[in-house]
Structure 1
Amino acid sequence: MKHLQKLIEQVEKTKQRHPATPGSQTGSHTYVRSKSIVDPKQVALYLQENDLNLTRLINDPLLRERVIAGDDTLDVNYMQNGANASKPVCRITIRSSDGEEGYGTGFLIAPQILVTNNHVLPDSNYGSNSYAEFNYEKGPDGIPLPERVFRFNTSQLFYTNEELDYTIIWVEEQSVDGLAFIHQFNFLKLNPNLGKTKEGNFVSVIQHPDGKMKKVALRQNEITNLSLPKFVRYVTDTKSGSSGAPVFNDKWEVVAVHHAGIPRYNNEGQILNLTGGIWDKSQGEVQVDWIENEGVRVSSIIYDITTTA
């Protein structure tokens, strides 16, 4: 299938750009996360502001944990803001003129404009035949919400960039059943500025893993590499169908568009599967032993849109 082949091409590009974060390719299937960097100036400032001294910091393990590990609490509106941020996220059913090929994730970045990966919607043929499904999720009572399907309109807008692996596409105003309008799902405003996250910070990903109902990988997903100018690496739980999902910081700002996993390789550079054997295309991407993830920086996407699209 073209969808799987395009994904494999993107995975190979991640290998060419940069190896996985040191420590992540151990023989164990347990992720090894990078350690957060402690800024000595911040520690000194904390001690000064709280009238503490270095001797107490060294001798008091509880204080040391609080200063160095940081405060993990968040404002109580964090969850509500996350629920609001999830509304513009949808499942994409990937179809070409030959039929259905799989699923991806996308999200609205402006009224009637949606972003996803190039390997999800690589050309106007896929754009014209695929569709977006909003509300494919459970409500507060655990009962599935009424799903709303929207068609794309490639004649109105379709732009894709294979290098950055993203596509923007126009969404029709009214759902297929005529019961919903796209503005009801709001949109996620993209911030073009750098500095929305840093190595050691946590991110969250709202996605449709394996094409299933909407899920969230909530915090405890660490940024591992910000050295790549156009991409960001992080450890989080994603699966097939998560491609095109928004990656958020704790302010629910989109910092990246998830696009590929970093697989485990053997010494010959072959991708390994979950049992430690050599993976091949016939096994499907769900059997790949993913050890890290990569997203396309929002700042890179905005720069490309404003200078090229």
Structure 2
Amino acid sequence: MNTLITEVKEAADSHEVDRLSAACTALIAQLPQEESLIDVETARDILGALRKSRRFEHMRSVAEAIVREGCEDPQVKRQYAQALIESGETTPAIGVLDQLIPTLNQDPLEQAEIYGLKGRAWKEIALSAKRIEQKANAFKEAHQAYHAGYELDREKNLIWHGINLVAIANADRVGALELSVKDEAIEIANRIVDFVDNAQAEEPDAWNFASAGEALVALGRTDESLEWFKKYVAHEKTDAFELAGTIRQLKELYNLEEVDGGTELLAPLRARLLQMPGGNFTLSNSELREMSQVGVDQFQKVLGSTGTKTYEWMMRALNCAGSVALISANGEGIGTGFLVLGSDLDPRLGDELFVLTNSHVVSDPPQHGAASIDDVSITFELANKHGRQEQIFGIEKIVWGSPPDQHDVSILKLTPDPSESFLHLPLARDLPLIEGGDIQRVYIIGHPRGGKISFSLEDNELLDYDMAVVKHADTFTACRVHYRAPTEPGSSGSPVFNGNWKTIALHHMGGESIPRLNGRSGTYAANEGIWLQSIVRAIRHVENL
């Protein structure tokens, strides 16, 4: 049993999802075979390790098994409820929490945790609800839960439960809450600002800074909030998970994009998130256009000394996004492509622009489930960002292609010719060095599930690539590149970028059990692209284009 417990915790710290799944499955199977219940401290430790690594599906399964075996520990059940919430199962989570509340009369700290989680579960329901009655009820329940936690200790719970009471009052646009609730929210917001202002010299807590900024937004003092968010972003304990939650709260609960100065606050926060390990967001065409119009001075106000560098980095990313295409077949998005300069691939292709995508997305004749060139249309979602009218392009022909089991690429000649109106993506000559211990990051821009354009950066580590192919310039085989940036269907054909926003690979697949490269045994969770320079080598080896 101890060996299994150690394996679960070690696997949780690794990126090997298949290893973690196997360890959790073995532990769950072993629990009923034990003569006694698992030790409470051990159970908490296991679930804490899974929570820290944000493996919430595994956390839910293990917690459920421990509770099923008879564990009555409130912390274990609370962790089970959190795993359910993180997995999108809010209603079962509320049921678990409601059963816990009557048992905790002598433990105000644990009560505060329970009420906070219950408030969050109802908040999630309120944000996703479509019917007004359902949304109104969820807001009432969320307010009641947060208020119960707040009343346990108005000082200690001011920042957590208090700021959420402010957020719920601001988010209620269906008239669910009474006017007195709105008045109390204003009073709490002012108290939060005063508290953080007085406490910052003694206790420079990251969440305090975020809460003060949020409270000022609620009070209509967005300009004053910038200084607090600047401190929050600069704090060493502010990670991508926390920042993403703050951005979501500002957008969804405060409708910040409709508030004067709101976009000017969100843009640098999103840009900073984009640079952080674990950062990820999806934006619409209009949101990206608004983000591109925010000036460097605003980035400096929110991000301080790093503002100019972050602004320039973000502008390169947005310019790259303008060259990324949505590929549709019969009106449905099926994949992604991107514009490249012909001469970057082969001098014989000249200065014309072509779209690169996977052959399993588009091929002629269709193969491996690919669409026919006659059924495909191509659009560039961010065309209007550069002052161009959105166009729908067809495919004149496929200049060159390679099947999915080789380079998995199709080079598309568009009609009409986009060369005079669009920019191409620059190709990196080399892959980032992965030897020496420094973690290299990669970035993907695509159209997951055929939807809005998305920057994918979560857990975006460059893992490995075919060293033998890279080192031998006279080989024409495909060079596979492995990385962890998460992708969804529709991301096939997306460009993979290095940290300077130069394109290094053509994304083409991913999975939980991808065979390791360079003779290493075993599998791991990874995504796979094809190194663009290996595609260039193959094209230049072809006699006739």
TM range (shorter): 0.5 to 0.7
Structure 2: runs of 5 or more not aligned: 1-13, 25-49, 56-235, 237-275, 278-305, 342-351, 367-371, 470-478, 515-523
Stretch moving more, 224-233 or 248-257? 224-233
- Aligned to 2:525, what secondary structure does the other structure show? strand
Equivalence for 2:356: 115
Indicate the structure with greater helix content: 2
Does 2:335 match 1:104?
Answer: yes
Does 2:525 match 1:291?
Answer: yes
For 1:23, which of 16, 29, 32 is the aligned residue? 16
Structure 1: runs of 5 or more not aligned: 1-20, 33-61, 63-70, 175-180, 266-289
Equivalence for 2:541: 307
Indicate the structure with greater strand content: 1
Equivalence for 2:327: 92
1:257 alignment partner AA: L
- Aligned to 1:299, what secondary structure does the other structure show? helix
Closer, same or farther: CA 237–214 of 1 in aligned 2, 3 Å: same
For 2:373, which of 114, 127, 131 is the aligned residue? 127
Q: How does 1:119-268 map to 2 (within 5 A)?
A: 119-124=360-365, 126-135=372-381, 147-154=390-397, 157-162=398-403, 163-173=406-416, 181-191=418-428, 193-198=429-434, 200-218=439-457, 220-227=459-466, 229=469, 230-264=479-513
Q: In the aligned structure 2, how far is the partner of 1:201 from the partner of 1:302?
A: 23
Closer, same or farther: CA 149–214 of 1 in aligned 2, 3 Å: same
Per-residue CA distance 1:228-254 (angstroms, 9 max, x = gap): 630110001210000000000111111
Which of the two has higher C-alpha Rg? 2
Q: In the aligned structure 2, how far is the partner of 1:241 from the partner of 1:231?
A: 20
Deviation at 1:165, TM superposition (A): 0.6
Deviation at 1:122, TM superposition (A): 2.4
TM-score, with length taken from structure 2? 0.35
Q: In the aligned structure 2, how far is the partner of 1:164 from the partner of 1:255?
A: 14
TM-score, with length taken from structure 1? 0.59
* CA RMSD across the alignment: 3.4
Q: In the aligned structure 1, how far is the partner of 2:326 from the partner of 2:501?
A: 19
Closer, same or farther: CA 208–22 of 1 in aligned 2, 3 Å: closer
Closer, same or farther: CA 164–248 of 1 in aligned 2, 3 Å: same
Per-residue CA distance 1:71-99 (angstroms, 9 max, x = gap): 9979231000111111110100135xxxx
The number of aligned residues is 211
Stretch moving more, 72-81 or 181-190? 72-81
User: Structure with the greater relative contact order (CA < 8 A, sep ≥ 6): 1 or 2?
Assistant: 1
Closer, same or farther: CA 172–246 of 1 in aligned 2, 3 Å: same
User: Does the CA-based 8 Å contact 1:31-1:291 persist in structure 2?
Assistant: no
- Aligned to 2:460, what secondary structure does the other structure show? coil
Per-residue CA distance 1:117-144 (angstroms, 9 max, x = gap): 010012246123212111268969xxxx
Q: In the aligned structure 1, how far is the partner of 2:513 from the partner of 2:457?
A: 24
User: Does the CA-based 8 Å contact 1:93-1:103 persist in structure 2?
Assistant: yes
The share of aligned pairs that are identical, in percent, is 27
Equivalence for 1:18: none
Deviation at 1:220, TM superposition (A): 4.5
